[in-house]
Structures are given as C-alpha cells and as structure tokens.
Structure 1
C-alpha cells in the first residue's frame, strides 16, 4: 500500500524514514519529493509498504507524531489523477447558429476601394 508522509524535518535522510517505518512493516520503496532546481527536500514523501496491515499500523502509530519542530502526517496516498484527454483539434471555421436567412445584411461588407493619394 502506498502512503503519503509529510511533516518530517527537511534534512532527514531516506534511510532514517525507512528505519522508522520498518518497525511497522516492510518498506518496499520510498521517494522523498525534492525541488527540481535546488534538489532540496520539500518535506513530504511517498512510501510503499509490502502489506496493508503494516501500512495501517504505520498510519495508526505515526500520524500526528512530533518530529523535531513539526508533526508527522501519514495517510494513504491518493491515486494519481487521470491524464487529461488531448485537446480537440481547433477549427478555424466560424460557428454557425443553425439558421439561415434570405435577407441581405444591413451593411455591405465588401472591400472598399482605397482613396488615391
């Protein structure tokens, strides 16, 4: 089961988090989320545990636990949102209202001749 873990100190190492969570069950994977440019920790991670029971024990035992000057938040990870469907191809044809008329427009939109200079 995949867990969201937040609120831990920004300088914590992955191995330290794994040790904490291994006391509740086996950790398969961990990914501490970092800023793309600076590579600094953003203060949250995603962790996958081998079984549901271990994940439930970790949530029960660690959610709300103080860590340094922060409170640890451990929750089931939300599923990734479904990818957006591709944009429809844009049409450059004018929209039609669906009705037609035999009357002439009030103004003639034909190109006007430019005055000679």
Structure 2
C-alpha cells in the first residue's frame, strides 16, 4: 500500500508559466502540495540547505529547506525556500526570523507565491481578467 502514493507523485506533472514561457518543473515534486512555504531572500553564498534547515528546524512543523543554486556553477542564487506543515509555525517563523542573520547576512522572508505560477492558476486568472474586461467594456457602451 505504501508504494501507491510514491507512484502517484512520480506521475504527477507540475506545469509552470512565467515570462511568457511554459515548462514542467520537476523540482516541485520534492515538496508537499499542502505546505506553508516561505521565500527566503538575500542569502549569502555561505548559506547551505543544512544551515537553512538548522535555522528553521526549531519550529515543530518544519518540513524542508532548500537553497536554489545555479545548475552549471552550483553557486547560490541568493534565495531559497522553507516549508512548514502548520500555518501557526509559518507565521511565528515569519515574525521571529525576518531580518535575523543566517550566515553572513540578514534574511528577508516573504510568503512564497509558487502556486501563482502554476499553469492552471494562471489560465484561471487570465479567464477571470478577460471576463472582467468584457464586462467593463460592455458597461461602457450603454
């Protein structure tokens, strides 16, 4: 029975869109779907996944931490993500850790907007925008 969820995860596709491009993002398969994810910005080159994990693992529902790196050079891109299961821990960490030093720099925290780039979400927002525009345009004609 335990093998079924793994199989479903592998078959799941995460299609993203940004900047006019559409692509499949396999890195999102490593993250839970129902988490509370935080964007960690202004990270120094000295910050690793392990340091980010040690920094946020004091919160009981902490799940995962990842520093985003350049594929060719493996150098940090200066940002990462931290995942929590409980929204209370997410809010507490956001309040307590924003501006605190992690490595050699103070960290900047924001709510992650990764879901806003999912293709289905983008298409839904585009349809809503088009419907609003047509409603406004038809209202102006009368």
Q: Secondary structure at the match of 1:60?
A: helix
Q: Which of 83, 87, 90 does residue 55 from structure 1 map onto? A: 90
Aligned to 2:56: 21
CA contact (8 A) 2:62 2:84 kept: yes
4+ residue stretches of structure 1 with deviation over 3 A? 66-69
What RMSD in Å do the two structures reach over aligned CA positions? 2.0
* Gap regions ≥5 residues in structure 2: 1-35, 124-142
Q: TM-score, normalised by structure 1?
A: 0.62
Q: Does 1:81 pair with 2:117?
A: yes
Greater RCO, CA 8 A, separation 6+: 1
Distance 1:33 1:68 in 2: 16
Cα deviation 1:68-106 (Å, max 9, x = unaligned): 552211111012414377xxxxxxxxxxxxxxxxxxxxx
Structure showing greater Rg:
1
Following superposition, the deviation at residue 55 of structure 1 comes to 0.7
The alignment of Structure 1 onto Structure 2 pairs a total of residues equal to 85
* Gap regions ≥5 residues in structure 1: 86-117
Cα deviation 1:23-58 (Å, max 9, x = unaligned): 233321222111121111111111111211111111
Higher helix share: 2
Distance 2:79 2:54 in 1: 16
